[in-house]
Structures are given as structure tokens and as C-alpha cells.
Structure 1
Amino acid sequence: MKELSECKVLVVDDTEANLDILVDALGDLYDLSVVMDGETALEAVAEEPPDIVLLDIMMPGMDGYEVCTTLKENPQFKKIPIIFLTALTEIENKTKGFQLGAVDYITKPFEVLEVQARVKTHLSLVLASQELEQQNQILEQKVLERTMELAQTQDVTIHSLATLAETRDNETGGHILRTQRYVKVLSEHLAQNEAYKDQLDKTTIDLLFKSAPLHDIGKVGVPDAILLKPGKLTDQEFDIMKTHARLGYDALLKAEEAFHMKEKPSFLRHARDIALTHHEKWNGRGYPQGLSEEKIPLSGRLMAVADVYDALISKRVYKPALPHDKAVEIIAEGKGEHFDPLVVEAFLELRDEFNRIKEQFADQHYESTKTD
């Protein structure tokens, strides 16, 4: 922290006798500079901003009021405290000075001890304010670092949970990365749509992006014989498979409740909605609840398109990958039946972006980077 003796004091007065008194009073205590007119004072402040200005009011040319006004109008200098030096004792003159931003008055003729005391008081306030600002900056930096650390921890947790589900499924890490990005581009596009813009602010889109990888977390509760079966599932097996939506929802809900996050907007709320509803259909024929149209959370409607598209373009042990154009055709055919019509319209406008994401995070690329 700066010491008082290191503070820069600028004295502005057009009378040499006054300057002599002030130099004698302050010169040995501070880094003192003197000028004799308003214009030169402004030049001196611009060249090397002082910690405080002692400013005469009655000067030829630019008076002290004008100098004060000019300094206070400049964001770079407006915090510099100004003490007026004046022989004017009328209350209206003092009031005008305070209205312009001055912090104090010293009345002529000067009392040396009074000058020293007032200057010391205001410089001490300046240093205290600077120290407080510095401490606030340090605290803000620490809060930022802690927030980033928590965000990274959250991301690692999400990725770990999603990877856990991936290890028990035929799907790949590429599927997680792709669907996450499909949901994001759909959300950003629909945020421009009057029907959905209130539901898709930047914070919500970020939370959806974080939440999307957990859409199939419930598959950890599905038996391997069903989850990894290479052929078509029987009706009974499919009923068991469908339980993954409820299992994922229940697990995430318990996590919310355990950490008292249920009443707060968090990624877990979006994650459980996605886990539970991404297999619902617009026409009400999906599972597990048979919800229809806008009774399905928007997050689930977005993931439905992202998940089905990715399933279509991905190779699995039980099916080949479909070409992008064929997958687009199938999604389009599901408009108003399987999928929210507006989400499908957004998807069709973003088909090239979906294809780019598909290529960028292709399974073979993802698997090769995992083994490098």
C-alpha cells in the first residue's frame, strides 16, 4: 500500500505568497507540485494525475469552479478529491463548490496546522479507498477462480456420469458430444423464435448444454442382457429398456434433493427433465408418461430431435448408419407426430450445421483420440 509521504499533491493558486505558505506546510510531507492558473492545472493533472488537488477559486482566466467542473466531467480524473482554497466565506460559495464535487474548503488566510490536518485526512481517505478497491479486486478474482473451479468440477462430474452410462451401452462418447451440440444449436436458433425466446435465455441454453450428456444416465440400471443385446428387443425387454427414462430422472431428482438444489435453476433440473422426457412424442405416443405437445418440457423436445437424428446417423451392432440426407428426411416426416413442429423447422434450417457436427465428432475420430 502507498504511504502518505508518497502521495502526490497538486496546489493551484495564482498568488505566490499563498504558494509559499502551502509549500512550507506540505512540501516536506508529500510529493508536492504547484501551478498558478487553471489551464496549467489541467495540463498537470493530465500529465501526472495527483492524489489530491488544492484549488484556488478566484483566478484569472479559468477559475477554480471551471477547473473542478472539467476534472469531474472526465472519468479518468473525477475521483481525484478537490479541496478549494478561498477567501470567500459566504455559504452559497461553499455550497456551489460541494455541488461541483469538492470534498472540503480551506479558508484564507491559511492556518498551517489546519492545512496539514485537512490534507492528511483526505489523503488517508484516498489511501483507504484505494486499499479497499484493491482488496475488492483480489476478492473478485478469488470468487472468479472459485466459480471457475466449481464450474469445472461440475463439468467433470457430468462427463463422468455420462461416461459411466456410455460404458454400459452400445452408444459412444461421440454420441454424447454430438447430441450436446445439437441441443445447443437448436436452442440458440429457437431463441430467435417469438414462441420460445422467453424460455431460451443464455443461462438456460448454457444449462441445457451442460445437462444434455445425462439424457441416458438411467441406462446404468438396465440389465446388460437387454442393454447390449445385438438383435431386436422383445416387447418385454423393450418395456424394461424404457424404464431407463424414469431411472435417470429419479437418480437426478435425488441428487437435487440431497444438495438442496431443487428450488434453484440448475443443470440438474434440466438434466432430469431431459432424462425423463426425451422419449416422449408430440402426438402423445411416447414414454414413459405419454405426454403430448407442450406438456413435454422444451428440453425434452429438443433432445428428442437430437437423440433420434444421432441414432439414425450412427452405426450400431444391430444396424448400419444412415446417410445424413436420409436421417433429415426421417426427422422431417416426424414433424407434428414424433417431434415438435417448430423444433423440426429449426432442425431443417440447421441441417448443414448438424452434418458439420456429425463429421467433426464422428465416432472413429472420438475413439482414436481416446486411445492416443
Structure 2
Amino acid sequence: MNQQLNLFLQLADAVIITDAKHTILRVNGAYENITGYQQEEIIGKRAGILRTPYTSQSVYDGMKRAIQAGRPWSGVFTNRKRDKELWHSSITITPFEIEGELYFVGVFRELEKLKQGLYLDEDRASRMQGSLLKVLAISCEIRDPGTEAHLSRVQNLTELLVDRHNERMELALPKAELARIANASILHDIGKSGIPEGILYKPGSLADYERTIIEMHPIIGIDIVDKIFAELDDELFEKELQTAKNIILYHHERWDGTGYPHGLKGEAIPLEARIVSVVDVFDALSTKRSYKEKWSLDSTLHYLRDQRGRQFDPSVVDSFLSLVEDELLVPHLAAQ
């Protein structure tokens, strides 16, 4: 190994040096202390010896693209020490070409240990949040065996629509926010768990007082999630909770201001609620319910077009219709 690279081994942070094929050439004392691997037993092995499935594939893909292009790369890894204990580090990998030979120098800085003892990358945290919200939603709607399928369809279709709307309208919403909207959409009708079954599943039209009770479900839903998340008191779910509350409370508001419970109008209605509103109505109309027959796809789409600018945000309807034009709803319709 070129002697110029030995200077990096004097750093206080953990340092690993590999050749162009990512074979380990040298590590420093800090690396030995953190990982438990001594230099003599790790030299000659591949740099991926510490790799675990807890670092998302997207991180590795980003690293690979950068180093193949000859650029430095920084990111966060969850690796495993020699004794199998997990460790979490911020790493910078820098390529060096010296006398025609390519080397990579990785400098690790161990992250402070979290109370939970585990670092969660963005993708893994999103999966955990989504799973918890799904269990919560289904457990609160267990009275109706068809509800789970409806909730899953709404969540899947919301994911499609929010991605399409973000792209089509050039909103530049970050990936994490798109995931939050899709995850939280499954809670949209959680307040219906507090509505008497005789009203909720009544065939035919509702009396005025029954309609008033039904329209209380957004308020009931907010009360339910506030009580549940008060017990969690975990910042991991803070943004997820706010998104869920916006969807629960406002997905029955109408673009023209005639919705409930607050009569919000236009863009005063949070975007996530406007998106779920279109998805929820589409699924409700295009499936059979205890109080109605299934509408045809043409009839359902005609309703969405007719309510564009009245019940629904026109731009969200247009984004939804673009999914139809691209035939991306075929799996969704097959699942009904």
C-alpha cells in the first residue's frame, strides 16, 4: 500500500483503506477498538464484512453510484461488530488515485448511542410507522370484515396518487412526506369505530339525526388518535400523527366549502386530505356496500369529473384521471 495513505491511519476516527476491488488493506487502532476486529484478521477480506440488512439498499446504491463515478460519498451505516453487536456510524468514503492505483479511504465516526439502542434509517422508520398505523386502523374497524380490504385499497391508491400529483404538479415534496401521507391514509375513517352499527351499516337513506351522528366521525377519530399517541409520546411518530390528523379531520371537507366538519374551502383544506378524499370516494363508489350496489368504472369516473371543482380539488382529480389513462388502476380494480 502506498505510504501516503498511512497518514489517514493517524486520525482519531475509525479508518479503513481498501484497494479498487474493496479488499481491506489497512485499518487503524480506532477501527479495531470499535469493531473488535484486529488488523491481522481483517486484512484481505472484503469491506462488506460488517454489512447488515439494517442499512437500506438505497444507501448502498447511492454509495456505489458515487464511487463508480469517482466522487466522495457520505452516509450512515448500521454495521455489526465482531461480537455481533450492532453499531451505527457516519462514514465518508473518498477515492484516491496514486501512481495509477485506485484506493478508497473510509472514515467512520460512531454515532452517539440512542436511548433505543438502534439507529433507524428513513426507509425502515417509514415501514415501522406504516405497519403500526395499519394495525391500529384495522383493529378499530374489526366489526366489518370488508373494512380491511377497503383500508388497504385506499392506502395503496393514495400512494399512487400522491406520487403522481407530486410529479405532475412539480410540488417537490420529499420522499418521507409522500410516505407519511400514504401511511396515514389508512386511518381516514378510524372515527367510524365510535358510530353505532345500526346507523353505520343501515341500508337505504339516513334520517337527519343519523346523518348528523355519521358526520361526527372525523371529530371522534381525532379523539381516538390523540389518546393513543399521547401514550406513545415518541417523536418518531410526531409528523406521522399530524398528517393522520389532517386526513381524519378534513377528508370530508369539499373544495367549494360545503363539506364537514368545518366547512373549509379550496386550498385551506390540507393537501393530504384533498388527495384521500378523491381516493376514498372512488373506492366507496366502485365497490359494493351494505347500503349501495357497486358502480361501474365509467359511472364512478363520471362522478369524479362532475365533482371536479365542487367536491374535489380539480388538480387532484386531474392527477387521478392521469393514473386511469396510464392504466395504473388495473391492479387496484382487480383487488376489489
TM-score range, shorter chain: 0.5 to 0.7
**Seq. identity, %:** 30
1:251 alignment partner AA? I
Show the counterpart of 1:304: 277
1:275 equivalent to 2:248? Answer: yes
Q: Aligned equivalents of 1:284 and 1:294: distance in 2? A: 10
1:161 equivalent to 2:113? Answer: no
Show the counterpart of 2:154: 179
1:126 equivalent to 2:99? Answer: no
Deviation sequence 1:148-167 (CA, Å, 0-9, x none) = 88766544432222213432
Are residues 301 and 154 of structure 1, via their aligned partners in 2, closer, same or farther at CA, if it must alter by over 3 Å? same
How many correspondences in the alignment?
Answer: 252
Q: 1:175, CA displacement in angstroms?
A: 1.0
Are residues 155 and 262 of structure 1, via their aligned partners in 2, closer, same or farther at CA, if it must alter by over 3 Å? closer
Show the counterpart of 1:356: 330
Gaps of 5+ in 2: 8-16, 38-77, 81-86, 90-116
Are residues 334 and 153 of structure 1, via their aligned partners in 2, closer, same or farther at CA, if it must alter by over 3 Å? same
Q: Aligned equivalents of 1:293 and 1:177: distance in 2? A: 27
Q: Aligned equivalents of 2:129 and 2:162: distance in 1? A: 21
RMSD across aligned positions (CA): 3.6
1:316 equivalent to 2:289? Answer: yes
Q: 1:229 aligns with which of 173, 181, 202?
A: 202
Show the counterpart of 2:174: 201
Q: Aligned equivalents of 1:164 and 1:294: distance in 2? A: 32
Show the counterpart of 2:221: 248
Q: Aligned equivalents of 1:257 and 1:212: distance in 2? A: 20
Conserved 8 A contact 1:219-1:227: yes
More strand by share: 2
Q: Aligned equivalents of 2:168 and 2:125: distance in 1? A: 32
Conserved 8 A contact 2:253-2:265: yes
Show the counterpart of 1:140: 88
Conserved 8 A contact 2:153-2:283: yes
Are residues 229 and 265 of structure 1, via their aligned partners in 2, closer, same or farther at CA, if it must alter by over 3 Å? same
1:259 equivalent to 2:232? Answer: yes
Structure 1 counterpart SS, 2:329: helix
Are residues 164 and 233 of structure 1, via their aligned partners in 2, closer, same or farther at CA, if it must alter by over 3 Å? farther
1:189 alignment partner AA? R
More helix by share: 1
Conserved 8 A contact 2:257-2:265: yes
Show the counterpart of 1:336: 309
Structure 2 counterpart SS, 1:143: coil
1:216 equivalent to 2:184? Answer: no
Show the counterpart of 2:51: none
Larger Rg: 1
Q: 1:132, CA displacement in angstroms?
A: 2.5
1:221 alignment partner AA? G
Gaps of 5+ in 1: 1-44, 54-71, 82-124, 363-372
Q: Aligned equivalents of 1:212 and 1:238: distance in 2? A: 23
